[in-house]
Structure 1
Amino acid sequence: MKEFLHIELLHIGDYQIMVYHILALAGIFIGTKLILFITYRIFLRQIKTKSYDEGRSLAFYQIIKYVLIVAAIAAGLETMGIKLTLLLAGSAALLVGLGLGIQQFFNDLVSGLVLLIEGTVTVGDIVELDGLVGKITEINMRTSSVATRDNIMIIVPNSKLVGDNVINWSHNREATRFHVEVGVAYGTDLNHAERLILQSALKNSYVAKKPEPFTRFIEFGDSSLNLEVYFWTRNMWEIEFVKSEIRKEIYAAFNRENITIPFPQRDIHVHSNQKN
């Protein structure tokens, strides 16, 4: 058996690859895959039982995954007889040259580590970046995947999520406040109109009962008295649908109570300059 393990498979200069090198590499590979599989199953079980937040759990798993992969590569190189210290020293000049040429690449890598460790943005969060609203579906070392409401997948460099102004609607894990505007005709009983608006908002199952929705008279418009209803919801991803349903309820309630929603009107005066 010992003689079999020391059978030479490849000879390059002073370097030899034996059977036991291949078996050791296979063992390291299989062991790493097995540990990652078990770790993932543990985190998946915790997510299903709601013991841990899904985004944070996946972030911790990604960190463990990268650490194990790096450790496996290092162990594999050591097993093959390649000294990491000599390898790093010999490639130092090359790494400096590469660093100057691909600074953005390394910036994205570092930003990926920051996201995974700090957890400012995690998988499942709804974010707004450059006016685009999307859901974080995956955070990798260099890039993150963001799915829009149109189910279009966008690959975003991690440096943008760290360095740019990003609105994270899910960051506080609590309900977020939104509002819907509506105008009523001059002469309308505003107190009655506000009661109808509040009732319309509370009919929606996605609107939180605590904090309670409230209305506000915001301005005297050109042709209407403008009101707003403010409400809280945890369903940020489908907020446009929620707003649409609330508007429908308000419109139906106003029709039942004969409250007019005016539209802009313009009077045109025609002056005739006729000479006798």
Structure 2
Amino acid sequence: MSESPVTIASILIFLLLLTFFIGIGIFARRALQRRVLKRFKVDSGTSYTLSRITQYMIITIGVLVSFNFVGINLSSLTVIFGLLSVGIGFGLQNITSNFISGLIILFERPISVGDRVMVNQIEGDVIEINIRATMVRTVNNIVIIVPNSDFVSKDVINYSHGDSTYRLDINVGVSYGSDLDNVLKALQEVADNNSSVMRNPQSEVHIIEFGDSSWNMQLRVWIPDVKQYPKIRNELESGDCTHVQKIWR
């Protein structure tokens, strides 16, 4: 510990320095993400990770500089961390777990900003990854704050990881008295006539099972963006697929 006395003035300067470095960190993150990395055409996920890490590094340096200003050197901080470890043992495990999980997410990138994910039965798009929690905007435009530990310790579906294409399955039941060849042809036309459906891979129609009173069939189509699947599913189910189902029931 330094022998420099801690005064009200030094405490105020300490707080001003801390606030300054936090502000610099936020400014650097925004400038790096919106200007610098954007010029190099870095993808949004990588850009977000690099800018966040830069912000945390600046804040960490600011904390160390601020502590040194009031006379607390690095060796003295080990005592503080030792006391914090005792507090962690008495009830801060959850906060620590989320903090470490946030670092894992930023460095390993199992999820990135913009990804469509399913966690805790919640489906939505990742809009922000913070050091404690991640914000997910659901398909109903509701923002859910999910603890980072949930993305590390639980099963998470990432629809967008590495590839945004998605296979959409539409189930259709037709009666046994229907002309099966016409049904297969009509379902294939449903896919071919929808501009949102990819031509490669090609759409397929399969008989899944023989039900009690119908052939249970499935139209499998590929779409380029998984985030569009609710809209395209609705188009297929409420449009031509429903029409086919009514004709051959």
TM-score range, shorter chain: 0.7 to 0.9
Question: In the alignment, is residue 249 of structure 1 matched against residue 237 of structure 2?
Answer: no
List gaps (5 residues or longer) in structure 2: none
1:63 & 1:167 partners in 2: Cα distance? 25
**Superposition deviation, residue 187 in structure 1:** 2.9
Answering whether residue 85 of structure 2 is matched by residue 96 of structure 1, we say yes
Give the superposition deviation at 1:148.
Answer: 1.2
Q: Residue 274 of structure 1 aligns with which residue?
A: none
Q: 1:195 Cα deviation (Å)? A: 2.0
CA separation in 2, counterparts of 1:99 and 1:35? 27
Q: Are 1:54 and 2:44 matched, yes or no?
A: yes
Structure 1 counterpart of 2:195: 205
Mapped contact 2:172–2:245 kept (Cα < 8 A):
no
Instruction: Report the RMSD for the aligned CA atoms in angstroms.
Output: 2.8
- Matched residue, 2:34: 44
Mapping of residues 166-181 of structure 1, within 5 Å: 166-181=156-171
1:86 aligns with 2:83: no
Secondary structure of 2:248's partner? coil
Change over 3 Å in CA distance of 1:178–1:67 after alignment to 2: same
Q: Is the 8 A contact 2:173 2:245 kept in 1?
A: no
2:58 maps to a residue whose letter is L
> Equivalent residue for 2:110?
120
Higher helix share: 2
Q: Distance in 1 between matches of 2:205 and 2:164?
A: 21
Give the superposition deviation at 1:71: 0.7
In the alignment, is the contact (CA less than 8 A) between 2:187 and 2:241 conserved in 1? yes
- Residue of structure 1 equivalent to 2:143: 153
State the AA in 2 paired with 1:236: V
User: How many pairs align?
Assistant: 245
Distance apart, 1:208 and its partner CA: 1.8
Shift of 1:243: 0.8
Counterpart residue number, 1:142: 132
Question: Structure 1 residue 235 and structure 2 residue 225: aligned?
Answer: yes
Query: After TM superposition, where is structure 1 displaced by more than 4 Å over at least 4 residues in a row?
Result: 16-32, 46-50
Aligned residue identity for 1:97: V
Residue number among 229, 240, 260 corresponding to 2:248 in the alignment: 260
Q: 2:181 aligns with which of 187, 191, 195?
A: 191
The one-letter code sitting in structure 1 at the alignment partner of 2:248 is T
Q: Is the 8 A contact 1:21 1:79 kept in 2?
A: no
Pairing 1:70–2:54 present: no
Deviates more, 1:21-30 or 1:119-128: 21-30
Q: Shift of the alpha carbon at 1:61?
A: 1.1
In structure 1, the residue matched to 2:209 is 219
Unpaired runs of 5+ residues, structure 1, are 1-12, 262-276
Describe the shift of the 1:78–1:179 C-alpha distance in structure 2 as closer, same or farther (beyond 3 A): same
Task: Name the SS for the 2:217 alignment partner.
Answer: strand
The 2-side partners of 1:207 and 1:50 are apart by 32
Identity of aligned residues (%): 29
Q: 1:10 — aligned with what?
A: none
SS of 1:138's equivalent? strand
Q: Secondary structure at the match of 1:172?
A: coil
Give the whole-Å Cα distance in 2 for the aligned partners of 1:47 and 1:245. Answer: 38
Deviations 1:164-200 (A, max 9, x none): 0001101122301120011112132323212211221
Which range moves more in the overlay, 178-187 or 35-44?
A: 35-44
Q: Distance in 2 between matches of 1:226 and 1:88?
A: 67
Cα distance change, pair 47–197 in 1 and its aligned pair in 2 (3 A): farther
Looking at structure 1, the residues matched to 170 and 125 of structure 2 have their Cα atoms a distance apart, in angstroms, of 23
